[in-house]
Chains A and B, each alone.
Chain A
Amino acid sequence: MSSSLLCVCSITSKWDQIPIVFPEIALRGSSGIPDLQASYQNAPNLPLFILDGFETTVQRIYDLNMELVERVTVLKDASAKAIYGSKAGNGVIVVETKRPSAGALRVGYNGGITISAPDLTSYNLANAQEKLDAEVLAGVYRNNVPNRQFPLIATYGQIQKDIASGVNTDWLAQPVQNGIGQRHNVTLDGGGEGMRYFVSLNYNKITGTMKGSDRTTATGVVNLEYRKNKFAFRNNLSIDNNKGINSPYGSFTQYARMNPYWRIHDDNGELIKSYHSGNTPNPLYNLQFKTKDFSTYTTITENFYAEWTPVKSLRFTARTGLSLSNSGTEFFIPAQHTRYATILPTSDQYLKRGEYTITNGKSNMFSTDLGASYSVEKNGHQVFTNLIYSIQQTSNAMTGMSMVGFPNDRMDDISMGLEYKEGTTAQGSEQTSRTVGVTSAINYSYLNKYLADFSYRASGSSQFGADNRWGSFWSAGAGWNVHNEAFAKGIKNLNQLRIRGSIGSTGTQNFSAYQAIATYNYITSQAYDGELGNVLMALHNPNLKWQEIFDKNIGADITLFNKLTIRFDLYSKITKSLLSDQTTAPSTGFNVYRENIGETVNKGYEVGLSYKVISNSARRTYVTVFANAAHNENRIRKVSDALKSLNEAQDSRLLGNSADASRPVTRFQEGQSLTSIWAVTSLGIDPITGSEIFLTRDGNITHIWNVDDQVVAGDMLPSLNGTFGVNARIKGWSFNIAMMFQFGAQIYNTTLVQKVENASMDFNVDRRFLLERWNTPGQYSLFKNIADRTVTKPTTRFVQDNDEMILSSITAAYDFGASNMMKRIGLKNFRVNMTLNDLVRVGKIRAERGTLYPFARNFLMGLQFNF
């Protein structure tokens, strides 16, 4: 994947919409149990990210300047992953940045603007009159007690009067804007036979669709490369600085809830502070004064690489990497903030209004590896071996505190606070983990026809139980280049036919540290008789092991007619020793402890093809069509009693009457998928009563929802998903169109449930609440009785097929080439490009846009030139 294609892919656009949330990525299916009781340090299904040979974080990749990227390789099969060993069980994404090339000094500029345009048409909220009518139908203004009925009628009258005088506030439009972001990148590179250099300065500002939210990153990179005789050295130094600001307008969800018959300004033109007698603040009120809500980090990364080749067949390498990072967050609201709207001057909380919270973090990653490789060739046999020894240390530390008592927004420094926030003191935490490993690999090939490779890795980590610190991982693979065989050389038009297979074992390490070591924690909040005490932190498990993944893979690469390339892979990934919390009786002193239990299997296939429709270099015209599809099936193979009790604990969430009870739970059952949707079978809404009819497991009909009647109603994993598109270059023009599709997946439409059925009458609702809910006997409706305020628990009524096809991006670019005008100015090339993302979506269900962040489309425009 070259850098220009990366700009096109729609993953970038999804990330841009929510500037401060990072995506969760899973390659070839889930293998880790989404942590239900404790929290992981990283999401359990994250692959390992390697940048220029060193491990790095999702955050760094997300903030990376696309222009620096030379190549991205995704490693999914056993042999590829085994080299990376213990942390590679979920796959590896290897990113390599551009290396300096020889030549006279070259200066280049690459920049562009991005426009994020919010699209509010898919939100279908009720207007003022509709909301009031819905409230009437839901019985908000009815009370059986006459002296309570009377003020309700007065409220109704007042609201109706406001609506008649024209009040109909469009709350959704208040906080949104067209986010215009920009990026600029300047590079200098050049060098001679000995020394080469590459310098890059980058500035990237992503402006979100919520007013006041943005994310700014500035990066400086210096890469040096030096070769002399048998030595080569490389040094990469990069400094990144980032600041992300959260919108002072608050969250988009708040605006979606505001009732449209509320005014924003009162009769004097002043902003109204709150509604519902102070319980619901006006989110716009807080814009009148200064607040802070941002996070920043500065990272310095230094990688040094040295290589010595004493004889042609032997090479020694040494690599050292260091990454130092300082981060911080600040949050400040003064006393006038609507959060304190209900506190009276007589209350003892009055002086404690206003809050300032800061945190400071430090994170260091240090790693070194030493390696040796040897190759020999004789009589058509080629052998290549290498051995690498590596050690790594990661440490994180965080301190923070929260002060209260800030009477106005001019006192915006933490030292001006009155006292610590009640119940808190200064906080700190610290974590260090270390790993050591040895990797060795042998690759063998004979006449470039038969290939075999074997690799072995042993790693130890400080995170695991004393009895099980070391894990060993291996892989073996074989390949056959059929196209180099004598019999195949005669076959016309067969350019390449390689059959390959591999098996191997890798591991994952995405867990919190110190789960395996019995540890005491000092109680710092109190002393006893002047003495300090400590208590056990958790039930430790000294037998905790690495989660192991066995991969089996077979595939083929075929090229025909020099035009058609097909890649096919069949795989099976078994995860053993799955880590999860095991519940235990409270009389042991604790409720849970970590244990290796359970097993999952992911099986599937992946197909990719690309076809060169036209490839005419004389006319400089190239057109290629590509398509990829994948199918993955996920099954839980073994479930221990621990997971069964986890199911019971999960089900208990559905028993109450809170909003939590409306989302389907994750249940673990042998033979079922980790992404199954569990719900009770619904037969629809009874036209006579407006309440839902369910089917029990025994086949009886009932009005009562029962947690034991849940069945598997669908699966969130699609049967087939993939991408397809066209790449074309015609003279100076180039076009890319990429489409994404998926079939066979189901989704539990939680957004629809929350907007139409579980919506609270205190706040605004979807128009369908009024228009489509049942309100008279005899009415056929998809949604239950408008007056029914009980929580809608998981039901098959909201399990919907999520088949969709999305036009994910279109890119067009023009390269001015080497025209005379350019030669006069001295420009070597000049290129402009434009990209549109997420243009069109065709799907079986209407996309219910969530209200966490406004849905937006992205337009990117850029230009690039070199001297």
Chain B
Amino acid sequence: MNKILIAVLPLCLLLASCKKWLDVSPKTQIESSVNFAGEQGFKDALTGVYLTLNGADLYGKDMTYGFVDALGQQHTQITQVAPDYYYAGQYMYTEESVVNKINSVWSRMYFAVANLNNLLKALESKDSTSFSDYTYNVVKGEALGLRAFLHFDLLRLFAPSPASKGMQAKAIPYRLNYSAIPEPRRNVGEVLNLALKDINDALPLLKYSRSTGCRNNSSNNHNRIFA
């Protein structure tokens, strides 16, 4: 009996160190906790959101001069050759190509929001003193501002305007958390209030940031919402 115990004990100790050995990270990717260990990771995650917004499926094309402008009747010369925008201009929302564009806008906008939420969650566990200069405030401020801005744009596209259906009309979900659990749709008034709250939280954080291209964009975004 004693012999068996002696045989088993050292193995238990070995197993404890094995726990670390089992933490394997892929080379082309970086684990979330490792990413947010240092300041650069936060900046990278925020840059990732900007890059997502840059894509042709969002503000790179469709949310600006592409799909949305076609809806806004800015393109009058479109024939059947460019079918996406042709059907969009005719408001044929059930056409497969239009449905795909709409789904893509919805998914990608919320993908950016999910990334922002994870970033904000990681920021909560850090405080501004562990970052250099005003980096903490800039990152947090831009993240909050972007969240408000993205939800506002989703509201603009997917919900009826307050003028037509009022503040109680059903609108979109406002995601404040990164999780797999879906959230119910809120009404127009709630979405606007939550967006305004995010902006009011963001503005004081951005007051002291150095002037960079990024900061100017965020203030422009905020002005649009207030208007």
Which residues of A are at the interface with B, using a C-beta cutoff of 8 A?
372, 374, 385, 387, 389, 391, 397, 428-436, 438, 458, 460-462, 469, 513-514, 517-523, 526, 528-529, 531-537, 539, 541, 582, 584-591, 593
Contacts and interface: CB of A to CB of B under 8 A. Distances in A.
A587 B182 contact: yes
25 contacts: A389-B14, A432-B26, A436-B18, A436-B21, A438-B15, A460-B15, A518-B31, A518-B118, A519-B29, A520-B48, A522-B30, A529-B47, A532-B44, A533-B50, A533-B51, A534-B35, A535-B49, A584-B181, A585-B182, A585-B183, A587-B175, A587-B182, A588-B114, A589-B112, A591-B107
B21 A521 contact: no
Given A519-B31, A526-B54, A589-B178, A536 B114 contact: yes
A393 to B, nearest CB: 9
A430 B27 contact: yes
Nearest to B172: A587
B110 interface: yes
A590 B111 contact: yes
B82 interface: no
Interface in B75-130: 103, 106-107, 110-115, 118
A529 B27 CA distance: 25
Interface string B30-54: 1111010000010111111111101
B30 A519 contact: yes
Contacts of A591: 107
Nearest to A431: B26
A8 to B, nearest CB: 43
Contact of B22 (A469, A535, A586): A469
Interface residues of B, number: 56
A528 B114 contact: no
Given A434-B22, A523-B51, A584-B180, A389 B29 contact: no
A106 to B, nearest CB: 42
Nearest to A585: B182
A438 B8 CA distance: 10
Main secondary structure of the interface of A (DSSP, over half): strand
Interface string B155-197: 0000000000000000011010011111100000000000000
Given A523-B51, A533-B45, A587 B106 contact: yes
Contact of B11 (A438, A513, A593): A438
A536 B110 contact: no
A461 B24 CA distance: 10
Contacts of B223: none
B29 A521 contact: yes
Contacts of B172: 587
B214 interface: yes
B111 A520 contact: no
A591 B180 CA distance: 9
A64 to B, nearest CB: 30
B19 interface: yes
Contact of B46 (A434, A460, A533, A588): A533
Interface in B132-157: none
Interface in B1-22: 3-4, 7-8, 11, 14-15, 18-19, 21-22
A514 B110 CA distance: 23
B44 A536 contact: no
B24 A432 contact: yes
B182 A588 contact: yes
Contacts of A582: 180
A534 B45 contact: yes
Nearest to A438: B11
A385 B28 CA distance: 45
A460 B103 contact: no
Contacts of B24: 432-434, 462, 513
Contacts of B113: 589
B49 A533 contact: yes
Contacts of A461: 22
Given A521-B29, A588-B181, 7 more contacts: A374-B3, A428-B28, A429-B28, A436-B22, A522-B29, A534-B30, A535-B51
Given A534-B45, A588-B179, A529 B213 contact: yes
B181 A535 contact: no
Given A533-B46, A535-B49, A462 B111 contact: no
Contacts of B51: 523, 526, 528, 533, 535
B44 A534 contact: yes
A528 B45 CA distance: 12
A588 B48 contact: no
Contact of A535 (B3, B26, B27, B115): B115
Contacts of A385: 4
Highest count of chain B CB atoms <10 Å: which of A436, A529, A588: A588
B33 to A, nearest CB: 8
Contacts of A589: 107, 110-115, 175, 178
A461 B46 CA distance: 32
B142 to A, nearest CB: 12
